[in-house]
Each structure stands twice: as structure tokens, then as C-alpha cells.
Amino acid sequence: MKYNRLLQTGGGLLVAGFIILFFVNRKATNIAGFISPLLLVSGWIFIALGLWKKDE
């Protein structure tokens, strides 16, 4: 199966988001607590767009 760039980018963002999530403190007051949710949400958006877009 041929994966397009949106799915690959979304998967990479999810992996990076979960790795950075490991460094979040309990109250999420550090920079990882700000960046990790952004990466996770944007990863899911990229995956949804990749599944929605037709392969050319």
C-alpha cells in the first residue's frame, strides 16, 4: 500500500508528540506541556486529511 505524505507527516507528528509527552510535568507548566498537545492534535489532523484526500 502506498502511503502519501500527509499520512507520513501525521504519523511522525504523533510519534514526536508522544515522545515529548513523556517530559511533561504533572501540572503541564513546562514547554513540553504546551508543545505536546499541539503536535498530537496536528498529527491527527494530518492523518484525517491524508485519509480524506484521494491518491493521484
Evaluate whether residue 12 is within a structural domain. yes
Evaluate whether residue 47 is within a structural domain. yes
Domain count, the chain: 1
Evaluate whether residue 19 is within a structural domain. yes
pLDDT in tens, 1-56: 466 888 999 999 999 999 999 999 988 889 999 999 999 999 999 999 888 876 65
Q: How is residue 50 written as a grid cell? A: 491524508
Q: pLDDT > 90: what percent of the chain? A: 68
Are 53 and 4 spatial neighbours (Cβ–Cβ below 8 Å)?
yes
Residue 36: which domain range? Answer: 7-52
Evaluate whether residue 1 is within a structural domain. no
* pLDDT, mean over the chain: 89
Evaluate whether residue 2 is within a structural domain. no
Are 10 and 46 spatial neighbours (Cβ–Cβ below 8 Å)?
yes
Question: pTM for the whole thing?
Answer: 0.83
